[in-house]
Amino acid sequence: MTDIHKPAERRRLSMVDVAAHAGVSVGTVSNVLNRPELVAKPTLRRVRASIKALGFVPNAPARQLRGGASRSVGVMVRDIGNPFFTEVLPGIETRLSQEELLLVLCSSSDSVEKEAYYLQILEQHRVPGILITPAGDDISHLVELRRRGIGMVLLDRPGADSQLCAVAVDNVRGGELAGAHLLSLGHRRIGFLNGPSIVRQCADRRKGLDNAVRAAGLDPGEVVTEVTLPALTPREGEAALERLSLRGGPTALFCVNDTVALGALRGLEQRGVGVPHDMAVMGYDDVEFAAALSPSLTSIRQPKHQLGHAAAELLLTDSRGDAGHWHQEIVFQPELIIRASTGASLSRPGR
Amino acid sequence: MTDIHKPAERRRLSMVDVAAHAGVSVGTVSNVLNRPELVAKPTLRRVRASIKALGFVPNAPARQLRGGASRSVGVMVRDIGNPFFTEVLPGIETRLSQEELLLVLCSSSDSVEKEAYYLQILEQHRVPGILITPAGDDISHLVELRRRGIGMVLLDRPGADSQLCAVAVDNVRGGELAGAHLLSLGHRRIGFLNGPSIVRQCADRRKGLDNAVRAAGLDPGEVVTEVTLPALTPREGEAALERLSLRGGPTALFCVNDTVALGALRGLEQRGVGVPHDMAVMGYDDVEFAAALSPSLTSIRQPKHQLGHAAAELLLTDSRGDAGHWHQEIVFQPELIIRASTGASLSRPGR
DNA sequence: CGCGAGGATTGAAATGTTTCAAATAGTTGG
DNA sequence: CCAACTATTTGAAACATTTCAATCCTCGCG
């Protein structure tokens, strides 16, 4: 007969209480929880009954204090609002939940300081690993964390020369695909709505675009007009149009991601600029909604779910500290998805 | 001169090491960290120098063991892939990060078992609070957790009779708005692409739709044809069209959310059904991309950022266990956003 | 010169686990 | 009936903190 008289017990139950209730030692209770095969059947039953009767819930921090690393991994993104991350997250979550790992989500909001702050907290929590899309260009602090024993995998960012594992999509190649596509349609003046060039992905896509222009025997300086947005949101995408002379300016717009393209599309419609006739537009990422936009958006597809899954996988091996594992880099290839917004069957851009 | 000879020290540093290095007791080190005002200036300097020199990082689990509750709150969503949650998350994150709280993200994938599993882990971690969109209809287990001292706030779900705080948008009202809009355009046969009715939001929106139909003096059984989707994804939205006799069937489609509407739009286009002329379509949530779809999507707007922010706020007061705080419910009002997909200026649905 | 006040520091208990060597009980073979 | 095992169980140390009563100084004042 378990009978709780106290209306609201102050102290939470511990294994000591369970042990007393079941008439065994704490060591045995611990064994029931962690190595039940060592415990005799009847004892097992009895202890389990006590646990249930008392409503005992093990204390994870205490466990961890003794045991070592935590069961949560950190995932740091630059902006949770970005649908790209939303589509990568399920891939990560799927893999982590298989390992019964908790996912601690941090958003650096593109601030190096906030990133540093969160990293510090994660280290204090003794997480076994961190999956991160760094806010800044310098990743030496990440290498340092890795050296201190925290698994570290760069997400959507090449590890390059550094000692870090990385999972990325080839952004230079993506930029090339986009550039080549627009050039093949006859465009010779391309507006590039880009993010800040300290963001690696942005810089790489620009590089790819330039490569494509040069490959066509043209001068990037002549062909490409870049507008740098402070943030990759629809609002900024729309606002960026102001800084671009629409008439007599570019005949095509390459947006550094679909979110920006969405804003651009909205803005162009308001200004009565027809897409793709007056202006071709393409995005990047091929997020879920790209195909359903008006007009449907040509984009560069990234295997987002796979990206997340592979990153999680790599993090698992990295944080296990498997011998024989040094840094590894997985690079996925982007894919050009042609849709209406670039009017692929266009003879020559108007005017 | 701090000189580390060991190539890779096994044991991590603890406050004991810092104390030794600085020539003080551990108690003092602790004071430096937690109540620096109690410590004499020179000592403070010395200890801080030692911390830096040794690279000491406090151990959060140990801290918590002594101190009590953790600095992480749980956020349980039904599906991280759903853009609705993506747009709610920033609101939550903003508020939590102000309190220097970590956000542990759990996705129940609409499984009651997975939800229960995660809740158990969160309880073990002694989180001070949980923000949750429950997977099932029964929330008694949540009330129980609350009783055990874990702050609990229902997200996007009315707390109703129960003892829980809740932040929600009035889904019945949303359904009414949608229904009234379609009816006012002359539609008399409405297809409703709904989710499983155990999901509260789905059931409520249906109820609202029926209300609107009745308010117009009509019989919901005649007007509404519901198709129940197993999951609220574009894919399922598209597939659902098969189960609806498009010709001679409904003249309008109400989709339980924008993600489903996106799929429906895609499917209708493939089948050559013109929107809004042959079929009016509306969604729910008014997510970021709704305005830019082809055609732009009429939807029911929910104040998503506010929703997240308010939920986090409520959770903070609830987990502080402030006296004078009992359960509180915040209900936001949805708003009808009319766009092209319902062809608002339509005389009468064709055929 | 002695005393008390008050600031600074210390030492040890307490937190809830896990782990492991040692103790105990139970069983089998001789 | 004992020895030698084996299967269980136990008790205490260890983990890294925080907290708090107790101690130690150092001044200032009478």
B304-320 and B83-98 helices cross at what angle (nearest 10)? 40
Instruction: Indicate whether A346 pLDDT > 70.
Output: no
Retrieve residue A275's tokens. Answer: 């897409």
Task: Find, among B139, B144, B175, B177, the residue nearest to B160 by Cα.
Answer: B139
Confirm or reject contact between B271 and chain A (CB < 8 A): no
Instruction: Indicate whether B322 pLDDT > 90.
Output: no
Assess whether B236 and B262 both reside in one domain: yes
In a domain? residue A141: yes
Torsion A260-A264-A270-A271 (CA) sign: positive
The long-range contacts involving B228-231, CB below 8 angstroms and separated by at least 24 positions, are B228/B194, B228/B195, B228/B196, B228/B197, B229/B193, B229/B194, B229/B195, B229/B196, B229/B256, B229/B260, B230/B196, B231/B110, B231/B195
B66 CB inside 7 Å of strand D: yes
**Is residue B343 left, alpha or beta, with left meaning phi > 0 and alpha meaning psi from -120 to 50?**
left
Instruction: Indicate whether A124 pLDDT > 60.
Output: yes
Tell me which chain A residues have a C-beta less than 8 angstroms from the C-beta of B97: 107, 114
Identify which has the larger pLDDT, A5 or B198. B198
Tell me which chain A residues have a C-beta less than 8 angstroms from the C-beta of B87: 81
Q: Which protein residue's Cα is closest to nucleotide C20 at C1'?
A: A27
In a domain? residue B239: yes
Confirm or reject contact between A1 and chain B (CB < 8 A): no
In a domain? residue B4: no
Assess whether B178 and B294 both reside in one domain: yes
In a domain? residue B162: yes
How far is Cα A60 from Cα B125, in angstroms, rounded to an integer?
5
Assess whether B164 and B310 both reside in one domain: yes
Assess whether A50 and A81 both reside in one domain: no
* Residue A200: domain span: 171-302+336-342
Strand C bases near protein CB (under 7 Å) are 7-12, 14-21
Amino acid symbol at B90: P
Contact B200, B137 (CB under 8 A): yes
- How high is the pLDDT of residue B10? 55
Assess whether B142 and B253 both reside in one domain: no
Domain containing residue A33: CATH number = 1.10.260
Contact A92, A131 (CB under 8 A): yes
Instruction: Name the nucleotide with the smallest C1'–CA separation from B22.
Output: C9
A62 CB inside 7 Å of strand C: yes
- How high is the pLDDT of residue B163? 76
Q: Do the strands B299-301 and B72-77 form a parallel or antiparallel pair, or are they unpaired?
A: unpaired
Assess whether B196 and B150 both reside in one domain: no
Confirm or reject contact between A167 and chain B (CB < 8 A): no
In a domain? residue A208: yes
Identify which has the larger pLDDT, A199 or B160. A199
A26 CB inside 7 Å of strand D: yes
List all residues of chain A from 246 to 265 with a beta carbon under 8 Å from chain B: 259, 262, 265
Distances (CA, A) of A43 to A32, A53, A64: 9, 15, 26
Q: Do the strands A299-301 and B165-169 form a parallel or antiparallel pair, or are they unpaired?
A: unpaired
Assess whether B273 and B312 both reside in one domain: no
**Closest Cβ–Cβ partner in A87, A118, A124 for B59:** A124
Contact A132, A76 (CB under 8 A): yes
In a domain? residue A10: no
Assess whether A88 and A155 both reside in one domain: yes
Q: How does DSSP assign B233-268, residue by residue?
A: SHHHHHHHGGGS--TTS-SEEEESSHHHHHHHHHHH
Domain containing residue B77: CATH number = 3.40.50.2300
Retrieve residue B124's tokens. Answer: 């073990």
How far is Cα A176 from Cα A182, in angstroms, rounded to an integer?
10
Domain count, chain B: 3
Between residue 62 and residue 91 of chain A, the positions with Cβ below 7 Å from nucleic chain D are 65-66
Retrieve residue A40's tokens. Answer: 């005799």
Band of pLDDT at residue A322, cut at 50, 70 and 90: low
In a domain? residue B275: yes
- How high is the pLDDT of residue B325? 59
pLDDT, one tens digit per residue, over A127-165 is: 999 999 999 888 999 999 998 889 999 998 877 666 789
Band of pLDDT at residue B7, cut at 50, 70 and 90: very low
- How high is the pLDDT of residue A256? 96
Q: How many residues does chain B have?
A: 351
- How high is the pLDDT of residue B160? 67
- How high is the pLDDT of residue B2? 35
Q: Which of the residue ranges B7-16, B35-44, B172-181, B330-339 would you say has the lowest mean pLDDT? A: B7-16
Confirm or reject contact between A212 and chain B (CB < 8 A): no
pLDDT, one tens digit per residue, over A251-281 is: 999 999 999 999 999 889 888 899 899 999 9
Torsion A184-A185-A186-A188 (CA) sign: negative
Band of pLDDT at residue A325, cut at 50, 70 and 90: low
Contact B166, B142 (CB under 8 A): no
Does B288 contact A234 at a Cβ distance shorter than 8 Å? yes
